[in-house]
């Protein structure tokens, strides 16, 4: 008989936060830009999406997911693609620095 202690936890638990998201059931087009959308149209759409995020009870979980998964498109957790790319680049840079510091301390 298999011990329950060695079984992986249910994956559904990792995604349960999405059930409480303010965007759930809303129009996806608010969160993802159409091809070639630029300028004020894109800025206005992003602002509408971020307004939904601002009242969302799971904004932190959503943002964490988007950064860890490196979501390339859309507004997630109140951040657009550009804002996430900056955070992801900073995380990578910090991780490289920590790695170099760790190597130096091991030598």
Q: Residue 31: which domain range? A: 21-106
Positions at the binding site: 23, 53, 56, 62
Query: Which residues in the chain land under pLDDT 50?
Result: 106-107
Query: Within a domain: residue 6?
Result: no
Query: Within a domain: residue 75?
Result: yes
Supply the pLDDT for residue 107.
Answer: 47
Helix (H, G, I), strand (E, B) or coil at 8: coil
Query: Within a domain: residue 51?
Result: yes
**How many separate domains does the chain show?**
1
Supply the pLDDT for residue 30.
Answer: 96
Query: Within a domain: residue 8?
Result: no
Supply the pLDDT for residue 22.
Answer: 97
Query: Within a domain: residue 2?
Result: no
Supply the pLDDT for residue 70.
Answer: 94
Supply the pLDDT for residue 53.
Answer: 98
Supply the pLDDT for residue 13.
Answer: 73
**pTM to 2 decimal places:** 0.78
Positions at the binding site for [4Fe-4S] cluster: 23, 53, 56, 62
DSSP tag of 79:
B
């Amino acid at each position: 008989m298999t011990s329950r202690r060695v079984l992986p936890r249910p994956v559904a638990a990792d995604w349960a936060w999405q059930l409480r998201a303010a965007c759930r059931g809303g129009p996806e087009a608010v969160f993802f830009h159409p091809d070639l959308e630029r300028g004020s149209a894109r800025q206005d759409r992003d602002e509408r999406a971020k307004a939904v995020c601002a009242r969302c009870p799971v904004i932190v979980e959503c943002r964490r997911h988007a950064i860890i998964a490196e979501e390339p498109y859309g507004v997630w957790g109140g951040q657009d693609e550009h804002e996430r790319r900056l955070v992801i680049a900073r995380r990578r840079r910090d991780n490289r620095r920590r790695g170099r510091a760790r190597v130096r301390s091991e030598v």
